Structure 1
């Protein structure tokens, strides 16, 4: 029984650390002037470790981070996943031997889920707002309408198809904004996770089916949404599938003092 508790605590710490490492320096990266003062150094540190892991551990000699490609599925991005999992694993092993941290593994994991909620929520809101702008899914241009069907890339075909209908872009944008907004608040977090899973599943399928190079990032958004929902999955299963009386439980705030809530 004690071994099961230790394993469970370790898994929560491991996953929680990975969530923080993957998302950081979010949300500081959204605050003006923090990139030059802080965020860029954290990103350089992460980049250095990923390059070291890829070259020294995986043996990828020519590994490099290619800037400004618009792709999130480069070799560097794929190496980042095992690199971040590995460093999270060893940090988790280190802290699991500290009894105080071991006892508070559940509290730490809850904090990581709050971080995941805001990471996914604000990302989906930014995705949704982009649907109302010209940058994502633009309408067919004169040039694109003259391109032969067979000459289009899978991504180009998807972009032209989705960009044709303004009403569908509005629907996609509103769906992402609503999902992101619901994730930002404790009382609506479960509903937000359900909507987010539906929205992110569609995004992931489009990215994989049409070779859109944001597969890794969109998959992380989906997995994080599932993790947010996971603690309430049993209650939802009892209510929706078994038709039993079920309660989601009280969502207690992590902060109790008013000044910290405001902060």
Structure 2
């Protein structure tokens, strides 16, 4: 029984460290950077931010120390609480731990789910991606393109996360929500591992939380799915002692759940409407332009203009360069400046005059070289132009 209590306290403390790592960062940061140099002998520099990656060096070392500190702190906590005479101490802590995991999973599943229902995590495929040779995409880029291709499948995946998260907010539907999210999160973890998506640490912790909740539901699940027996109704773990207090607590919990679910949904809805309003118009020269000159001595393969101040060029040596763009639609003049992270190199610059033609554009370089360009829409690409077919006489696998 003592070991069981220790494991509970260890897991509870560990998840508190994990969930509120941003609060403990001020204390742990010196330890993280010291151990990186002296314990793990890491010779390269790294930052706490990770530049958008959740699987950076800082995150792994922080997880290591969270684990170590939790193992140590759980021992005195267990010894101290074991001396209490109150019989329900263990059940109370277990209940609070389960509530913490439920809220943790519900919050992130609603956030990630609505970010898929509304196209934030996987927006429509860009021309930049369509113009990229297949073999040059990264494993993560391939996975992202797969999800971006079908907004309906992406919304379906998001709804599974949303439904699972909502079910965790109700005590009567915890079992169903846990079963759904265990399947959903297992798929997410495998996708992150197999496609090298840098959210492995976070997704594995979410799956671990779902498995812990599933463990607490094991008897009910075994009775229902394996033994074919009736499942008893869940009992309250904590009683406040009087009906009035229970009623007040019920209203508080209901209000919090509604605030959480409706608040996250409203935030994404407002952000989506705002984004839709801002993106209502395309930038000048929007689209993909392919060089049509058969001799093509210009050195260019294609041009992409997709964002209001962004462009990309792929050269005949198959090198792709991204630029910031300034387009003067009155003077018919384009200035492109290379986007680079290296401050020591001089950014590449391209200058063109242009005029519209029947099939697209005609660029003129500073050396008076003419570059005929054919405009292609997304419907001209096989991936985005193929569409859906109920009937396929033969597999169309290219």
Q: TM-score, normalised by structure 1?
A: 0.83
1:249 matched to 2:234? The reply is yes
> Cα distance, 1:105 vs. partner?
3.1
Whole-angstrom CA distance in 2 between matches of 1:22 and 1:254? 29
Whole-angstrom CA distance in 1 between matches of 2:90 and 2:30? 29
> Cα distance, 1:57 vs. partner?
4.7
Which structure has the larger Rg over C-alpha atoms? Answer: 2
**Contact 2:10/2:70 (8 A) holds in 1:** yes
2:58 match: 76
Structure 1 pair 134–254 and aligned structure 2 pair: CA distance change class (3 A):
farther
Whole-angstrom CA distance in 1 between matches of 2:191 and 2:181? 15
> Cα distance, 1:175 vs. partner?
0.8
Structure 1 pair 253–94 and aligned structure 2 pair: CA distance change class (3 A):
closer
Once the two structures are superposed, the pairs formed by residues 1-263 of structure 1 within 5 Å of their partners are 5-24=1-20, 42-55=24-37, 57-60=39-42, 64-67=46-49, 69-98=51-80, 99-100=83-84, 104-247=89-232, 249-252=234-237, 257=245, 258-261=247-250, 262=252
> Cα distance, 1:252 vs. partner?
4.0
How many residue pairs align between the two structures?
245
Whole-angstrom CA distance in 1 between matches of 2:95 and 2:6? 14
> Cα distance, 1:196 vs. partner?
0.9
Structure number having the greater helix percentage: 1
Whole-angstrom CA distance in 1 between matches of 2:138 and 2:239? 47
Unaligned runs of 5+ in 2: 254-398
Query: Please, which moves more after superposition, 175-184 or 148-157?
Result: 175-184
Unaligned runs of 5+ in 1: 26-39
Relative contact order: is structure 1 or structure 2 higher (C-alpha 8 Å, sep ≥ 6)?
Answer: 1
Query: Please, which moves more after superposition, 201-210 or 184-193?
Result: 184-193
Q: Indicate the RMSD between aligned Cα atoms, in angstroms.
A: 2.4
1:31 match: none
Give the secondary-structure state (helix, strand or coil) at the position aligned to 2:105.
Answer: helix
Whole-angstrom CA distance in 2 between matches of 1:152 and 1:46? 37
> Cα distance, 1:88 vs. partner?
0.9
Structure 1 pair 178–66 and aligned structure 2 pair: CA distance change class (3 A):
same
Structure number having the greater strand percentage: 2
Give the secondary-structure state (helix, strand or coil) at the position aligned to 2:121.
Answer: coil
Structure 1 pair 254–112 and aligned structure 2 pair: CA distance change class (3 A):
farther
Structure 1 pair 63–250 and aligned structure 2 pair: CA distance change class (3 A):
farther
1:30 match: none
> Cα distance, 1:254 vs. partner?
6.2
Q: TM-score, normalised by structure 2?
A: 0.57
Structure 1 pair 101–149 and aligned structure 2 pair: CA distance change class (3 A):
farther
2:315 match: none
> Cα distance, 1:132 vs. partner?
3.0
Structure 1 pair 245–9 and aligned structure 2 pair: CA distance change class (3 A):
same
